[in-house]
């Protein structure tokens, strides 16, 4: 399966291309450091400036949080999870880190496939 990745939308000229890339891309939001063996919050948001549809043939069906090659968590959705209107899926994952993290998120759109975030490094003390 092809994995689509976020591109720097400031480098893209056409608004429609910015919209397409942004509303499908997953974004990882968290602190850059964490304490070993303490609960650590990681927010994953699908879309930043643009909202994704939530209709029967076009919605985000799942979001995953990865540490390197290991999947840590997954949230599943059905059509209508956003009330049938466009919006941004936002999921708070809580993990307990043991060592430094290389976090990425993936989101699956039922119409446009798999999208992956940029990597976020978290130092664990």
Percent of the chain with pLDDT over 70: 92
The residue written with tokens 């990681």 in the block is 42
Could you read off the pLDDT of 46-60 as tens digits, one per residue?
999 899 999 999 999
Q: Which of 55, 59, 45 is nearest to 88 (CA)?
A: 45
**What pLDDT score does 7 carry?**
64
Mean of pLDDT values over 53-81? 97
Each residue's pLDDT tens digit, 78-121: 999 999 999 999 999 999 999 999 999 999 999 999 999 999 99
DSSP H or E segment with residue 51:
none
Q: Which domains does the chain have, with CATH numbers?
A: 3-124 (2.60.40.730)
How many Cα atoms within 13 Å fall on the side-chain side of residue 73?
A: 13
Looking at residue 97, what is its pLDDT? 98
Average pLDDT of the residues in 63-74: 98
Residue 1 binned pLDDT confidence (cut-offs 50, 70, 90):
confident
Q: In 3-state terms, what secondary structure has residue 4?
A: strand
At 13 the pLDDT is 61
The pLDDT value given to residue 119: 97
């Amino acid at each position: 399966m092809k994995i689509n990745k976020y591109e720097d939308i400031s480098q893209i000229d056409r608004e429609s291309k910015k919209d397409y890339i942004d509303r499908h891309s997953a974004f990882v939001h968290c602190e850059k450091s964490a304490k070993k063996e303490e609960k650590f919050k990681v927010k994953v948001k699908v879309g930043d400036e643009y909202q994704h549809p939530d209709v029967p043939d076009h919605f985000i069906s799942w979001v995953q949080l990865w540490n390197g090659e290991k999947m840590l968590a997954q949230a599943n959705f059905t059509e209508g999870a956003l009330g049938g209107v466009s919006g941004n899926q936002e999921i708070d994952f809580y993990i307990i880190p043991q060592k430094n993290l290389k976090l990425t998120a993936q989101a699956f759109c039922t119409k446009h496939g798999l999208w992956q975030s940029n990597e976020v490094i978290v130092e664990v003390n």
